[in-house]
Amino acid sequence: MWREVQGSKNWENLVDPLDSLLRSEIIRYGEFVAACYDAFDLDPNSKRYLNCKYGKRSMLSEVGLGESGYQVTKYIYATPDIINHVFPNNISIGSSCGKWIGYIAVSNDEETKRLGRRDVVVTFRGTVTIPEWIANLMSSLTPASLDPHNPRPQVKVEAGFLSLYTSNEDKKFGLGSCREQLLSEIGRVVNKYKGEELSITLAGHSMGSALALLLAYDIAELGLNTHDDHTVPVTVFSFGGPRVGNSGFKERCEELGVKVLRITNVNDPITKLPGVFLNENFRVLGGKYEVPWSCSCYAHVGVEILLDFFKMHNPSCVHDLGTYLSLLKCPKRLHVQKEEDIDFINKAKEFVISGLNFNAALQWKNAAMNMVNMVQSQRT
């Protein structure tokens, strides 16, 4: 059954209605993602500011997951160079040095026996720092070109996400790019347990789900999940995730067998971006120019579980991971009637702008306003 829960049959007959075992697994992986937020140090006066508050051995225990049956093997840092591209005159709006963005954990022997396989989990938090917000506001497609032997120019992804994944600006600590850290550790772990039944599970929230999908594609494209004619399943659990690439990226992920389960809120504007207009639903002249245009259109990947929890006192809840998990834990509340729709867009504007939270950022305030205005135009 674990293979079906991991998407071997594209979650056929498990999504509608939502299977109880699948629901519990979604919650379990969602809690691993929530740990990224709980352990992230946001105190500017702390020596661990914008890094993990705890050591690898104690982190899961410190955030309440000490009985999860997993052990953290590596912390992951992202070193975006977004600021240098957007602000060539070196306007100081924040450091571009490496920030703790997630971790890799492996199930222990007891949990492996319970699950029926050795599970390698990679989790990513969502947007917190200024460069990450800027990356979220970018919307240009660029070739992924992650396999040097076969760059596949038709496979394109969002430039900001790709930069977060591949940039290596923090050379002082010798960390390497986010991608290099991830591929190195995953290769090591898979090789260590290659004689066992394995699964690779990637989970993230918001921007983190975009990184999870990029990593899943990268692993499969490079064949890191294939050993002795045996393919290790690669599964992504995406919470409130945006679109990541074009239709060529979507099709290639499907060809490679990457399984993606997207848990989304119908009222979450982040899941509509990028590609509010040019997306998988776009058609030109009845489809006559559908193929040429498809390379410029964003497309979601995978199977969607669409939630509806609009009736919230605080509009920020529409994208909050805690709300996603709370409602999944209460199945009777998964589908809530929409109410007070008129005031949503104005409140969402205030939420997006306040999330940026940095001084002298008028141009990014305007960008955020434009982003939500696009969402409004789509809703109408």
50-77 pLDDT tens trace: 899 999 999 999 999 999 999 999 999 9
**What percent of the chain lies above the pLDDT cut of 90?**
57
Evaluate if residue 172 carries a pLDDT over 90.
no
DSSP letters of 19-71? PHHHHHHHHHHHHHHHHHHHTB---TTSTTTTSBSS-TTTHHHHTT-TTSSEE
pLDDT classification of 274: cutoffs 50, 70, 90: confident
Evaluate if residue 346 carries a pLDDT over 60.
no
Would you state the pLDDT for residue 350? 46
In this structure, what token pair is assigned to residue 326?
């709370």
CA-CA-CA-CA torsion for 132, 273, 303, 239, nearest 10 degrees?
Answer: 40
Lowest mean pLDDT among 85-99, 138-152, 209-223, 270-284: 85-99
Would you state the pLDDT for residue 297? 84
Cα–Cα distance, 307 to 32 (Å, whole number): 20
Evaluate if residue 349 carries a pLDDT over 60.
no
CATH architecture entry for 24-341? 3-Layer(aba) Sandwich (3.40)
Would you state the pLDDT for residue 135? 62
| Average pLDDT of the residues in 361-378 | 43
Evaluate if residue 149 carries a pLDDT over 80.
yes
Would you state the pLDDT for residue 171? 55
pLDDT classification of 139: cutoffs 50, 70, 90: low
Would you state the pLDDT for residue 131? 67
In the block, tokens 């399943």 appear at: 233
In this structure, what token pair is assigned to residue 125?
């938090």
Choose between 351 and 103: higher pLDDT.
103
Choose between 101 and 293: higher pLDDT.
101
**pTM greater than 0.85:** no
Distances (CA, A) of 31 to 42, 125, 222: 19, 11, 29
Choose between 362 and 183: higher pLDDT.
183
Lowest mean pLDDT among 280-284, 305-309, 334-338: 334-338
Evaluate if residue 102 carries a pLDDT over 50.
yes
pLDDT classification of 214: cutoffs 50, 70, 90: very high
CB 321 within 8 A of CB 239: yes
| Average pLDDT of the residues in 17-38 | 97
CB 260 within 8 A of CB 238: yes
Evaluate if residue 101 carries a pLDDT over 90.
yes
Evaluate if residue 26 carries a pLDDT over 60.
yes
Cα–Cα distance, 299 to 296 (Å, whole number): 10
Q: Which residues are catalytic?
A: 206, 268, 319
Mean pLDDT rounded to a whole number for the chain: 80
Would you state the pLDDT for residue 130? 67
| Average pLDDT of the residues in 122-147 | 81
Strands 198-205 and 118-124: parallel
Query: Residue 180: which of 130, 237, 222 has the closest Cα?
Result: 222
Lowest mean pLDDT among 19-23, 71-75, 304-308, 312-316: 312-316
Would you state the pLDDT for residue 134? 67
List strand residue ranges (DSSP E) for the chain, in order: 70-78, 99-107, 118-124, 141-143, 156-158, 198-205, 226-227, 230-231, 234-239, 245-246, 259-265, 298-299, 303-307
| Average pLDDT of the residues in 340-361 | 41
Helix/strand/coil percentages in the chain, nearest 5: 40, 20, 40
pLDDT classification of 228: cutoffs 50, 70, 90: confident
pLDDT classification of 332: cutoffs 50, 70, 90: low
In this structure, what token pair is assigned to residue 317?
């809840």
Choose between 350 and 328: higher pLDDT.
328
Q: Coil, strand or helix: which one is 109? A: helix
Would you state the pLDDT for residue 344? 41
